[in-house]
């Protein structure tokens, strides 16, 4: 099997230009990709950064080895003030930060739409309500990190009797992109809803993949990356339009500008594991 992860020392030029589109596309539903985009691959302290190509689009892939790095869910700083942006969060977190991206979908009042567990504390409860939009497309789910490693579960199963023991970090979003190794049945290959999108997948309790599209893609093509390229058994959509990833090792934001310039709420940070 071909490896998609180049080790440190394989250097390529990374060109990052701003994206200018916003909202649903009226185009033919094909993915957008800048012809001059080239990917920089590197590895550092439990994080491997690479790119994969799928269905005419490019995706930046962050592979996290939880034996060497931590995944933290973030919303507010130690003083209780929301970070609000990747820039403010990365300045306050400091040198332990390996990567930073937005977490799950949030509500109009700038609180998490569903479950948000941070450092073992539940700051927003599990949301099993019905509603409109991607968050409520069933099955939706929860990404979590617990005593026995990382996982993704349907929201209803996460709430089953007994629940998950020792959950330290969790974010709820929707829909699930991959469920038990299969694509979500309601995702449409011909969807014309195109956004820069990010999501998270779990291959094993110690191996997590965070992915952001280089350009605008639909949900079906985005989900296919987790199933066909990364072979994740489960994957969860995080968000679109506001999606962005920061890589401190290179000092770059991907994309350079978000499609929707709104205040962020939950974030996912990859941090060094102190020994």
Q: What is the pLDDT of residue 275?
A: 66
Closest to 179 measured CA to CA, from 100, 225, 232: 232
Please, what sign has the CA dihedral across residues 257, 237, 86, 260? positive
Residue ranges per domain, the chain?
42-187+198-272
The alpha carbon of residue 100 and the mean position of all alpha carbons in its chain are separated, in whole angstroms, by: 9
| Greatest C-alpha distance within the chain | 51
Look at residue 90 and give its three-state secondary structure: helix
pLDDT tens-digit map of 164-191: 779 999 999 999 999 999 999 999 999 9
Average pLDDT over residues 21-42: 53
Contact 39/250 with Cβ under 8 angstroms? no
Is the pLDDT at 64 greater than 70? The verdict is yes
pTM of the model: 0.87
Look at residue 37 and give its three-state secondary structure: coil
Task: Determine the number of helices (DSSP H) and then strands (DSSP E) in the chain.
Answer: 3, 18
Sheet with 234-240, strands from edge to edge, namely: 42-44, 47-54, 57-65, 207-213, 197-204, 234-240, 176-179, 182-183
Q: What is the pLDDT of residue 33?
A: 54
Calculate the alpha carbon distances from 58 to 40, 112, 170, 263 in Å. 12, 29, 28, 26
pLDDT tens-digit map of 202-227: 999 999 999 999 999 999 999 999 99
Contact 229/54 with Cβ under 8 angstroms? yes
Contact 258/242 with Cβ under 8 angstroms? yes
Closest to 104 measured CA to CA, from 158, 69, 76, 141: 141
pLDDT tens-digit map of 75-120: 999 999 999 999 999 999 988 999 999 999 999 899 999 999 999 9
The alpha carbon of residue 80 and the mean position of all alpha carbons in its chain are separated, in whole angstroms, by: 24
Is the pLDDT at 40 greater than 70? The verdict is yes
Q: Give the C-alpha separation, 107 to 112, whole Å.
A: 6
Contact 98/44 with Cβ under 8 angstroms? yes
């Amino acid at each position: 099997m071909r490896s998609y992860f180049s080790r440190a020392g394989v250097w390529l030029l990374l060109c990052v230009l701003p994206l200018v589109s916003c909202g649903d596309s009226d185009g033919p539903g094909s993915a957008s990709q800048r012809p001059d985009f080239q990917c920089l691959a590197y590895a550092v302290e439990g994080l491997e950064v690479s790119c994969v190509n799928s269905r005419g689009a490019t995706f930046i892939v962050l592979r996290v080895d939880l034996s060497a790095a931590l995944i933290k869910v973030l919303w507010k700083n130690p003083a209780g003030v929301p970070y609000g942006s990747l820039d403010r969060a990365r300045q306050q977190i400091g040198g332990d930060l390996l990567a930073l991206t937005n977490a799950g979908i949030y509500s109009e009042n700038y609180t998490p739409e569903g479950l948000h567990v941070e450092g073992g504390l539940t700051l927003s409860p599990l949301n099993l309500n019905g509603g409109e939009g991607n968050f409520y497309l069933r099955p939706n789910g929860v990404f979590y990190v617990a005593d026995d490693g990382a996982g993704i579960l349907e929201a209803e199963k996460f709430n089953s009797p007994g629940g998950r023991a020792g959950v330290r970090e969790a974010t709820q979003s929707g829909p699930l992109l991959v469920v038990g190794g299969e694509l979500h049945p309601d995702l449409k290959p011909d969807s014309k809803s195109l956004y820069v999108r990010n999501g998270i997948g779990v291959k094993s309790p110690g191996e997590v993949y965070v992915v952001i599209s280089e350009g605008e893609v639909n949900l079906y093509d985005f989900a296919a990356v987790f199933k066909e390229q990364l072979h994740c058994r489960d994957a969860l959509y995080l968000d679109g339009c506001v999606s962005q990833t920061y890589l401190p090792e290179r000092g770059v934001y991907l994309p350079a500008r978000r499609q929707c310039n709104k205040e962020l709420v939950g974030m996912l940070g990859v941090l060094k594991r102190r020994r």
